Structure 1
Amino acid sequence: MLITVTGGIGSGKTRFALGYAAQISREGIYLSTGDHDPVIPELPSAHYRAISAGNGHHLTEVIHQINRESNLFLADQRIVIVDSLTSWMAAGFRATDDLDQQRVHTQQLLDALLSYQGKLLVITNEMHGALYPSEKERIFAARMASVNRALQAHSERMYMVVSGLAIDLKDQEMRYDE
């Protein structure tokens, strides 16, 4: 089960995600870059543990490792929370200027997230453009938006948080014929 929480910087995504996770799972793993706040937020219970997995391409490895070690019979009782996908992707983009390598790492990360067996809650940011973005910023924003669309397509639930208020996007979904 994939759940996505999106919104702007400082909108309350993490607080909402942790509260939501506590409602649907007894235990969880909170994967944090640690760069958005010097203190890991208060976890819902003692059955939740935090892992500061660092930045860059490590998230793919961590997701695969958790997936390999998971007991599929207990997967419904635990949730993995990724906070935040945008930070990991930004770190990966800072690590190399090679666009092909960035594309490969992005696809590997997306494949890891979509192949996860169990409950996965991904926190990501909505990409808003600058007036005069650099080429690198434009490429990153486009790649992040593409990943967000892929997550939405595979998510059972998707929430947008604005000023602490969560909106269930799947319930509000509108489709336009192409």
Structure 2
Amino acid sequence: MSLILVTGGVRSGKSRFAEDLARDAAQDVLYVATGKAWDDEMARRIELHRERRPDTWGLCELGGRLSESLDASKGYSVVLLDCLSTWVSGRLMDIPEQAWRDESITKEIVGEAKAWLDAVAQTNQTVIAVTSEVGLGGVAMSRLGRWFADILGDVNQQAARQADTVYAVIAGLPWRMKG
């Protein structure tokens, strides 16, 4: 197994870079989409990603759990998950406000990411995981925003520790940080 983590800010070019890595690595690629069309703008972003991908790639649209991608990825040599940060935000959007910052929910989400990373480590596939880096900005103004940053920070650190290769993409330029 080879885990490649691609991180960067929003609109940094990280998804396009990860798609290029996947395209260069193999023809049998499974694209694991974590985004949900919450509104028209998000629907357009999802459509732009679809238009960029080769028609030959498989597609797994997650319904919420990272583990859904494990069965779907059987038979593919490359799996591209785009992205962990959108997955975390989707999970948090399903939590009622009175439960925000609940430690058991935090542990559940971080644990789910860890279980997925551990399962990925047992495969013979190349897995490319995209995520946003939220640690370079200020502290979020809202309680939900701070919770998101805390959880995503933990998930990103786990993924970076476990990854063989880590890239940071800034202004469309990839920088190899590990591997």
Q: TM (normalized to structure 1)?
A: 0.79
1:121 alignment counterpart = 128
Distance 1:159 1:150 in 2: 15
* Count of residues in correspondence between the two structures: 160
Q: Say whether residues 1:106 and 2:110 are aligned partners.
A: yes
- Secondary structure of 1:11's counterpart equals coil
Unpaired runs of 5+ residues, structure 1, are: 172-178
Distance 2:23 2:160 in 1: 22
| Residues in 2 aligned to 1:34 and 1:168: alpha-carbon distance in whole angstroms | 26
Give 1:135 shift.
2.9
Runs of 4+ in 1 over 3 A off after TM superposition: 128-132
Equivalent residue number for residue 88 of structure 1: 87
For residues 94-145 of structure 1, the C-alpha deviation after alignment (integer angstroms, 9 at most, x for no partner) is 2122431232132113211332112111000001444552233222212211
Identity fraction in percent:
24
Structure 1 equivalent of residue 39 of structure 2: none
* C-alpha RMSD of matched pairs (Å): 2.1
Measured in 1, the distance between the counterparts of 2:26 and 2:80 equals: 11
Q: Are the aligned partners of 2:106 and 2:151 in contact in 1 as well (CA < 8 Å)?
A: no
1:134 aligns with 2:138: no
Give the alignment of 1:6-21 within 5 angstroms: 6-21=7-22
On the 8 A contact 1:18/1:44 being kept in 2, the answer is no
**Hey, what's the Cα distance between the residues in 1 that align with 2:46 and 2:55?**
20
Partners of 2:5 and 2:131 within 8 A in 1: yes
Structure 2: segments with no counterpart, 5+ residues: 37-41
Q: CA 1:131–1:66 in 2, change beyond 3 Å: closer, same or farther?
A: closer
Contact preservation (8 Å) 1:11, 1:161: yes
Query: Aligned partner of 2:33: which letter?
Result: S
User: Helix, strand or coil: the match of 1:140?
Assistant: helix
Counterpart of 1:50 in structure 2: which amino acid? Answer: L
Match of 1:174 in 2: none
Give the 5 Å matches for 1:135-150.
135-150=143-158
Per the alignment, residue 65 of structure 1 pairs with: 71
Where does residue 58 of structure 2 map in the other structure?
A: 49
Which of these residues, 161, 164, 169, is aligned with residue 153 of structure 1? 161
